[in-house]
Amino acid sequence: MINYIFLLIIIPFLLIINTADAVEIYNKNGNKLKIYGGMNQKYRFLHSSSSTNKKYDKDPSEYMLGLFGETKINNEWSGYSCLEYRGKGFVSENSIDNNLNNKISLGLIGFKFGKWSSLDYGRNHGVIYNAKSLTNCHSFIDTDRVFKENDVFLMDRASNVITYHNYNFFGLSNNLTTILQYQEKHKNSNSMQENGSGWGSSIKYDNRKGITAIASWFSENRTSRQIIDGQGDSADAYGVGLKYEKNNVYMAAFYGEGRNITPYAKFTKFAGKSGNLELFGEYNFDGGLSSSLTYSESYGNNMKSINSTLFSKKRIFSRQMNISSHYNFSKKIYTYIDYKLDFLKYNQDVNVPEESHDNILRAGMVYKF
């Protein structure tokens, strides 16, 4: 076991990106260009919760490269754009599996009006992401994908989105930030990843003394292929996040509920109702060591099994805990070790979530710029 841990610490390393840390590569005549990127080369050691067998997972390495540009129009207006590209490090150069292809994760263009507001259009994060981001503190912490599916309404990254930000609640308070979002109707070969038109909003309160609260909501029309399941002609969700951060302590919580927003059964059905709870706590010791604990639980209701039997009672999708420690060598580089403890066994009858329920031990090194 010691050899396994040694290999896990030496082999993998993870790069986490924040656009605030992006490197400026051009700045002239009011035009700026920044670049950021990262590589996530993890190798996980799994222990099945249903047996004593130990196994290695396939290499889940990923990489990302982003560009952020800004141009000054006049003293009040500026234009900006963002393009972010992601790929899988374990995919062969001649891979024909479309699910593993490299892809554009973000791509938008917009205008900023002084320090007060901005408006952009393209592929962006949906409004629910804003509330959930308070507990999404470390990318190496693993939670099943309930309430963070991409291209499923406005849960996470989504296409054809118009987003308006106001950074001082229309001049009334510097502690409030509001977001209004509209998504156009979008077709897809997979009916689970298409949507009708709809609206979303989010409001953030920050007292500048360590407390932050975010509430998000959206409602969208379902497409003709989606409503044949008899679960209604709309999909909607709300999420509430709360954070306390002061001195060496970081604590956060998220809770959300939704209708027709959680795919299951290998992305062929929607849960009529679903919910998600996440709790996160971290303490930063003097000298660079930090330890954190995460608990998450997701559930579904009004679901059909593979043989179309209707389950009216609540069924648990995931219930897990992450125990993590990381050591900061500097603001740019740290190393970590993380253990995910899964409390459930895989439910073949409902076939959700898509990932098997295994206990996972991971370690790595993080560098960010």
The predicted-structure confidence for 140-168, as pLDDT tens digits, reads as follows 555 555 677 888 999 989 999 999 999 98
- Out of 38-47, 125-134, 192-201, 291-300, least confident range: 38-47
Burial of 26 (0-12, 13-18, 19+ CB in 10 A): exposed
Q: Which of 196, 159, 165 is nearest to 180 (CA)?
A: 165
Q: What pTM did the predictor assign? A: 0.83
**Rounded to an integer, what distance in angstroms lies between the CA atom of residue 9 and that of residue 4?**
9
User: Is the confidence at residue 244, as pLDDT, over 60?
Assistant: yes
**DSSP-based three-state secondary structure for 92:** coil
Which residues pair with residue 163 across a beta bridge? 120, 181
Non-local CB neighbours of 3 within 8 Å, separated by 6+ positions:
none
Non-local CB neighbours of 362 within 8 Å, separated by 6+ positions:
8, 12, 42, 43, 44, 45, 140, 142, 337, 338, 339, 340
DSSP 27-54: EETTEEEEEEEEEEE---EEEETTSS-E
pLDDT attached to residue 16: 34
Q: Which of 336, 335, 355 is nearest to 345 (CA)?
A: 355
